[in-house]
Amino acid sequence: MTNAEARVPLLRIVSLTKRFGGFTALDNVSVDIPPGERFGLIGPNGSGKTTLINCISGAFRTEPGTVLFRDEDITPLQPHVRTRRGIARSFQIPRPFRSMTVAENLMVALDFAAHEHVSVAQRRDTMMSILTQMGLASKANASATKLSQVELRKMELARAMATHPKLLISDEAMAGLSSSEVDEVLDLLMSLASQDITIIMIEHIMQAVMRFSDRVMCLDAGKIIAIGTPSEVMANQRVQEAYLGT
Amino acid sequence: MKRRTLLGGTIAVAAFGLVSSVEAQQPPIKIGMSMPQTGGLAGGGKPSLLGIEIWRDDVNAKGGILGRKVELVVYDDKSSAAETPAIYSKLIDVDKVDLLFAPYATVPTAPIMPMVKQRGLLLIGNFSFQVNSKVGHDMWFNNAPWGPPDSWAASFLDIGQKAGGKTMALLAADQEFAQNLAKTAREVATKRGMQVVFDQSYPPNTVEFSSIIRSLKAAKPDIVYVASYPPDSAGILRAVNEIGIGDNVKLFGGGMVGLQFGSVMENMGSLLNGVVNYNSWLPEKSMYFDGTKDFFDKYTKRAVEAKVDPLGYYLAPFGYASGQLVEQAIKAVGSLDQKAIAKYLRENTHKTIVGPIAFSADGERKETAVLQAQFRGVADKNMEQFRSSGKQVILFPENLKSGDLVTPFEAARK
Amino acid sequence: MDLLLDAVVIGVLLGCFYAAVSIGLSVSFGLLDVPHVAHPAFLVLAAYLVFFINEHYGIDPLVAGLIITPLFFVFGLAAYRLYYETFERRGSDAGVRGIAFFFGVAFIIEVLIILQFGVDQRSVTAAYIGKSWRIGDMRIPYRMLVAFGVAMALTLLLTLYLSKTYMGRAIRAVAQDQEALRLMGANPIRVKQWAFGIATAVLGLAGALLIIVAPIDPTLDRAYIGRTFCVVVMAGLGSMSGTLVAAVILGVAESIVLTMFGASWAPAIAFAMLLGVLAVRPQGLFGRRS
Amino acid sequence: MKRKGILFWIGAAVFLAATFLMTQVVGNQYPFFAGYVILQFIVLAVAWSILGGYAGYVNFGTSAFFGVGVYTAVFLAKAFGAPLLVQIATAAAIGALMGFALGLLTLRMQGIFFSIATIALTIIIETVITNWRFVGGAAGIQIERPPTTPPFDNYVQMLFFVQALLVVLAVAISRYIQNSWIGRGLQALRDDELAAECTGVPTLRLKLMACVISGALMCAAGAPAAMYLQFANPASAFDLNYSVSALAMSLIGGTAHWSGPIIGAILLSATQQLLTVTISSEVNVLLLGVMLVLFVVGAPEGIIGLVRKIFHSRNEGKE
């Protein structure tokens, strides 16, 4: 964190604003995320967390504001190009490719997002090692529709991993899971973070955020109301108001 | 591999079905045709077919032709041009029919014209319009009363000009038959130096004609020539009735398909009054020939069961007449030699229930027998009234004329 | 100028007619996402039943339309049940197969009509058919005024029903979020079935209008697939008043082209407008999706 | 994979050889007339399913592409007396352009909106052709066939063989797409477009590609129809029947595998040909309706799905 690298952020968001009709979902948001950071993103419902992610991953276009990734302006790029640049994400409500098996889900990522051309056999190996890491190896040939909730969450992370990301955005990957499952997924994310992957984690489960994050940012009504270490943010009055007040 | 076996199987089944059906010691004379029994032309195809079937039964009751019974081989072409080539190939190559009749109407007939020409086969046309003009097949004979292509528009405009008409409006459906009519009408008008003050084609499936009629009315024509299809004919007349057409219109109608069909006429009722429209047969005294009455007695009975047009004036007797044409020709020639039959048909005048028929070189009638008739005193919701004479007064041709034009149009509607 | 005014007036009335025949689809497709390509076939079927009642009992077509409304409601309930059991229950991707299913249903209805009523064109008689109302130089066919009245009534009733009643609100909720509805304690399937019943029931009156405005034949439904879907999509899915507005736009455009420009270009203009709308506002003019 | 590829090409070669042999040996014309129609529907169904099956974008505009193919041929024949192969090649090029334009215009629309847009497009194009006097306008046009070229002694036999070539071409393309990264990408975007995009799939480009290929093949299939019928009118060339049939055949056969649309097309069009010359009445249309409903309800994955269910023990989803 304190080394020289931190001055060249992996992701740099500059004055990002996003409006839907008259509603301002994001209001002049700027933040830098250095490589290797575990970044927690919190905020009440409708505060703009998912909108921010959609702006980073490219699902939404932004007019005012820029998104820089590894010093490159990616604002005009389509989502799939951003994925190839190294931004991967999971979804709040899992979105598997339903007509495919788990293995095939990952193969899509390997086919399209892999940087160098590698043989089919090599891709298969990569896929299996990711699945093994995620604890899904036994489900490789199962249809994506047959997975349990936690398996779906893991598969989404695995699919995101298969794109060889530098930045992984996990959008409430623990919602609706039991506490043991939450721990499981949290451990997974931790182990990914230790592999030199920067992670943005959106989460409602505060404990998980606290345990996971190097730094936490809190959004409310599209604005940053606090940013800092988990304990700093938690102690912040406005954060407490945002969570308890409204 | 799989697809070939399947395909082969289909053909085998089709062929097999045929072989087993023909077993009589005196093989029947097979007449093959497709006929629209579903789709947009079915309303015409079904009564036409019934007319042909009545002829078949009459002939067979008399012992057939040359001692052989007549058998019809009929397939449904779904009113589509795409279906007929395969059907006629089946009729020729697999069913090996002795004679071919064309399906009702121009569109399904057009694709088979080059085919029969190439193979040198006789084809009796069924109310198609000018399909042979480009193909030039010398063994084609159309049962329809059209005659030379421009005679139709010419007779209508004659009537209009006699009534003092100087300008013409033209309203035609954007479909093949209507467009052909409109084209000849335009040509005749130019030839006669008649001014065309309104010339519009409307698309198929137009729902509401009020706006078109309104702009037609604004052009103040003397003569309104309408070439329309069944659903639109009704819509146009309704709109005319509601919007009005102006007092200067002396003559209205001409080429409206649909006003010949019983159910349409019944539905339109008094809206029809005053319209002068083409027709092929009408229950006027001048129209009865040898066998005509007998035919309609039979048709009326069978139409109810078959759920087809209860009147059947327009197409059914001509279906019967198609049969009479080949019947006479075969008897005269004494064989099924198609060249000889064609020669006979071309060189003679034939007696039919729709009057004497003689062909010119292009296989159309030598002289037009298209009637122009005016609706008079028609009441609402009454099918039976159309069976009596006087409801449709024949204005043209001269030799069949049964009354004079009532003009202007607005007056004739009363 | 006179002609233009005339074209606009007739166009508005024609548009109302389009609205009336499309509004059922606006519920079934617009709110429930059922790809109901058999909607026009149901419509033609209703028109034939109206014809039958009018012909045999001499009952006014509008009344006849009302008489068959309950019948069509039940018919709709049954149709949705079948649809649900075969598609929605099995999960996603009903799309293509749903369309094929309803095409099949449309063909079956078409043939049944041919077998029962024959291929001849049919129409009905009523006091208001064939006469017109004079205002100054303008003449307006009464049957188009009937179309106007029915369209207004249907739009108003459906809008009120969807906003004021519990069931109506549930129907709108089901279009937005099924889960939320489940939490409210309502069974989404029941709600959808009920909504589909209503969508089908309004076809009774719409079918009466169809045969009042113009004669019908068994294959008429094919001409209305494009028109009805055009209206519903242009309106934006599920908006009743939007349906009316979109239909009126379509009607006026068609009428103006018919009167002022080449009549034969009318269909192209209408559908080019639809493409234009979709290209600029994919959610339609009054779309429910943001 | 390799072995299957060889088998496929052997099969294709045998098929072509057989159709060619048929044109040389069989004298009866009917098999060619009926066979031509069946082959034509195979091409349409296979082409349809590239966009409709793999990508899940339901194209209601098959008849628009088919009709444009027909009229491309009509125009070329009338204006330049162009030979058949030029007609087909040009039709394919125009079909590709049309697919590209349609894609650009509409592929940003989701699901059913795309379908509605294709209906609109069909009506617009039909109206344009209807108003185009040079190719006959609404009245239609009769076209003369050029003389037959050896080794065929009959034009319909030649058309039959040409359509067989198109079948092989269409199937080969469809098969290649399914087995390649394109197919996997299309399948992914069919399941979930946003997820596919965020997994690195260039969805718009893939959809455009599918649209272009599908459009080119459909137009190419339509081009020989002008010479087959020797007549063209807008109502027949843009018949809704083509759109419904292509969709129905693909679904009845099954869209999960390239062979599905072939099976569906053969089954349905052969049945229709057979019924046309046997029962030949309304029942024909009724049967199409009933078959559609039954298959969609009873065999949602089509015949391919049924077969797979039967051989469930084999590893699924692979080929």
- Domain residue spans of chain D: 2-318
Mean pLDDT of chain D: 88
Q: Do D288 and C222 touch (CB under 8 A)?
A: no
Mean pLDDT for D142-158 is 85
Percent of chain A scoring above 70 in pLDDT: 93
Q: Do B42 and C3 touch (CB under 8 A)?
A: no
Mean pLDDT for B263-280 is 90
Cβ of D56 under 8 Å from any chain C Cβ? yes
The 10s digit of each residue's pLDDT in C161-202 is 988 888 888 888 877 766 666 666 778 888 889 999 999 999
Angle at D195 between CA C28 and CA A91, to 5 degrees: 95
Q: Do D33 and B89 touch (CB under 8 A)?
A: yes
Q: Is the dihedral of CA C158, C163, C164, C167 positive or negative?
A: positive
Which of A117-121, B348-352, B396-400 ranks highest by mean pLDDT?
B348-352
- The minimum CA-CA distance between D291 and chain A, rounded to whole Å, is 25
* pLDDT at B8 (0 to 100): 43
Tokens describing residue A137: 């190896």
- The minimum CA-CA distance between C161 and chain A, rounded to whole Å, is 28
Mean pLDDT for D80-87 is 91
Residue B13 has pLDDT above 60, yes or no: no
Angle at B319 between CA B82 and CA B139, to 5 degrees: 65
Residue C237 has pLDDT above 50, yes or no: yes
At residue B4 the predicted structure's pLDDT band, cuts being 50, 70 and 90, is very low
Residue B12 has pLDDT above 50, yes or no: no
In chain D, the N- to C-terminal Cα span, in Å, equals 7
Q: Do B215 and C3 touch (CB under 8 A)?
A: yes
Cβ of D172 under 8 Å from any chain C Cβ? no
Mean pLDDT for D175-188 is 92
Longest dimension (CA), chain A: 56
Distance CA D94, CA D102 (A): 12
Q: Quick one: D6 exposed, middle or buried, by C-beta within 10 A (0-12, 13-18, 19+)?
A: exposed
Assigned CATH topology for domain A3-95+163-244:
Rossmann fold (3.40.50)
Residue C55 has pLDDT above 90, yes or no: no
- The partner residue sitting opposite A20, judged by closest CB among C92, C93, C290, is C290
Mean pLDDT for D108-120 is 79
Cβ of B136 under 8 Å from any chain D Cβ? no
Mean pLDDT of chain A: 87
Q: Which residues on neighbouring strands pair with residue C12, listed in sequence order?
A: none
What's the pTM?
0.89
Cβ of C91 under 8 Å from any chain A Cβ? yes
Residue D238 has pLDDT above 80, yes or no: yes
C/B Cβ contact: 3+ pairs below 8 Å: yes
The 10s digit of each residue's pLDDT in B221-244 is 999 999 998 878 888 998 898 888
Which residues of chain C have a CB within 8 Å of the CB of A21?
290
Residue C99 has pLDDT above 90, yes or no: no
Tokens describing residue A25: 């979902």
Q: At what angle do helices A120-134 and A102-113 cross, to 10 degrees?
A: 120
Cβ of C290 under 8 Å from any chain A Cβ? yes
Q: Other C-beta atoms within 10 Å of D316: how many?
A: 14
- In three-state form (DSSP H/G/I as H, E/B as E, the rest C), the secondary structure along A119-185 is CHHHHHHHHHHHHHHHCCHHHCCCEHHHCCHHHHHHHHHHHHHHCCCCEEEEECCCCCCCHHHHHHH
Nearest to B279 by CA among B174, B165, B152: B152
Which residues of chain C have a CB within 8 Å of the CB of A96?
none
The 10s digit of each residue's pLDDT in D265-282 is 999 999 888 888 887 677
Lowest mean pLDDT among B281-295, B392-406, C124-138: C124-138
- The partner residue sitting opposite D276, judged by closest CB among B7, B75, B135, is B75
At residue D152 the predicted structure's pLDDT band, cuts being 50, 70 and 90, is confident
- The partner residue sitting opposite C229, judged by closest CB among D108, D116, D293, is D116
Residue A199's H or E segment, with its range, is strand A198-202
Q: Other C-beta atoms within 10 Å of D51: how many?
A: 29
Residue A4 has pLDDT above 50, yes or no: no
With left for phi above 0 and alpha for psi between -120 and 50, is residue B368 left, alpha or beta?
beta
- The partner residue sitting opposite A108, judged by closest CB among D185, D204, D317, is D185
Residue D47 has pLDDT above 90, yes or no: yes
Tokens describing residue D4: 């299957």
Residue D316 has pLDDT above 50, yes or no: no
Residue C47 has pLDDT above 90, yes or no: yes
Residue D198 has pLDDT above 50, yes or no: yes
Strand pairing class (D141-142; D231-232): antiparallel
Q: Which residue has the higher pLDDT, B90 or D306?
A: B90
Query: At B404, which amino acid appears?
Result: D
Cβ of C190 under 8 Å from any chain B Cβ? no
- The partner residue sitting opposite C104, judged by closest CB among D52, D115, D296, is D296
3-state DSSP call for residue D309?
A: helix
A/B Cβ contact: 3+ pairs below 8 Å: no
Percent of chain B scoring above 90 in pLDDT: 61
- Domain residue spans of chain A: 3-95+163-244
At residue A173 the predicted structure's pLDDT band, cuts being 50, 70 and 90, is confident
- The minimum CA-CA distance between C6 and chain B, rounded to whole Å, is 7
* pLDDT at D314 (0 to 100): 52
Mean pLDDT for C86-115 is 80
Mean pLDDT of chain C: 85
Q: Do D284 and B3 touch (CB under 8 A)?
A: no
The 10s digit of each residue's pLDDT in B185-226 is 999 999 999 999 999 888 877 888 888 888 899 899 999 999
Residue B18 has pLDDT above 50, yes or no: no
Mean pLDDT of chain B: 88
* pLDDT at B21 (0 to 100): 44
* pLDDT at D318 (0 to 100): 44
Q: Residue B111: is the preceding peptide bond cis (ω within 30°)?
A: no
Domains and CATH numbers, chain C: 2-131+140-280 (1.10.3470)
At residue A115 the predicted structure's pLDDT band, cuts being 50, 70 and 90, is low
Which of A107-121, D121-135, D218-232 ranks highest by mean pLDDT?
D218-232
At residue B25 the predicted structure's pLDDT band, cuts being 50, 70 and 90, is low
Domains and CATH numbers, chain B: 29-147+288-305+316-347 (3.40.50.2300), 151-286+369-412 (3.40.50.2300)
